[in-house]
Amino acid sequence: MDYCYNPHYRIRFVILIWSQIIFGEVQMGYSQAQKEKTHKRIVAIASKRFREKGLAGFGIAELMKEAGLTVGGFYKHFDSRDELVAEALSDAFGVWQRQKAATASSGRPLSFEKLIDDYVSDVHRRNPGAGCAFSALAPEIARSDKRTRALTTDQVKADLELLAGLLPGKDKRQARSRAILTFSALVGAMSLARAVSDEDLSREILNTVADLLKHPA
């Protein structure tokens, strides 16, 4: 039987090839989107649990189990545990910046007094996983790698700048000094308030520090 050229076969063949290419690209895009979504979920879980249990108190196996993934899947997202820690802390940092943005959008700018009251609140004291990473993890961060400490340094500088900007007056040096005092006092007070077992003492520590910061002698 002699070969008979049929242009319809060629058209079908081209359509088939292109459909496979397009479908493959769609699948790749979907897979990448899913991977990014999963990555963010892992980081969010780690960010919360590290603040609750400490950097050494929450392992990779626990993390991946909570994320619904295998331990082996961890290395599809991170080269090392240090990389996870850095990303988790980055996710935890910026609480005051987000608070300032939220209040500004509502038409009620964040005040120095409001920031202090929110920080020493019972809600913050009882929920370290959703709060300040410094009061939860400062001693452990001090023993972390260079990348994590560099991220921490940048955030401390940003927080000090935000605090100084909330203070009245034009003396920048005085505002910065008071910002450093405020930041250090709040972080230390919250750490100590969580450490003691006496509820009355815990609240007294926070209330005393807050009052002295808002009404300096």
Q: With b meaning 16 or more CB within 10 Å and e meaning fewer, what string describes 62-74? A: ebbeebebeeeeb
**Do residue 115 and residue 205 come from a single domain?**
yes
Residue 35: pLDDT over 50: yes
**Do residue 66 and residue 166 come from a single domain?**
no
The token pair at 37 is 């979504």
List pLDDT tens digits, range 51-82: 999 999 999 999 999 999 999 999 999 999 99
**Do residue 176 and residue 122 come from a single domain?**
yes
**Do residue 23 and residue 117 come from a single domain?**
no
Whether 135 and 128 have beta carbons less than 8 Å apart is answered as: yes
The CB density around residue 101, as the number of other CB atoms within 10 Å, is 12
* 36 within a domain of the structure (yes/no): yes
Residue 89: pLDDT over 70: yes
Residue 160: pLDDT over 90: yes
**Do residue 103 and residue 73 come from a single domain?**
no
* 74 within a domain of the structure (yes/no): yes
Q: How many domains would you assign to the chain? A: 2
**Do residue 140 and residue 61 come from a single domain?**
no
Instruction: Note the Cα 107 to chain centre separation in Å.
Output: 25
How confident is the model over 19-47, as a mean pLDDT?
Answer: 75
Q: Helices in 4-80 by DSSP H: which ranges?
A: 7-53, 60-66
CATH number of the domain at 166, please.
Answer: 1.10.357.10
**Do residue 189 and residue 122 come from a single domain?**
yes
Measured N-to-C along each axis, helices 133-141 and 81-92 cross at an angle, to the nearest 10 degrees, of 150
**Do residue 98 and residue 55 come from a single domain?**
no
Which among 36, 41, 140, 155 has a CA at the least distance from the CA of 88? 41
Which pTM does this prediction carry?
A: 0.82
**Do residue 210 and residue 179 come from a single domain?**
yes
In which domain, by residue range, is 102 found? Answer: 93-214
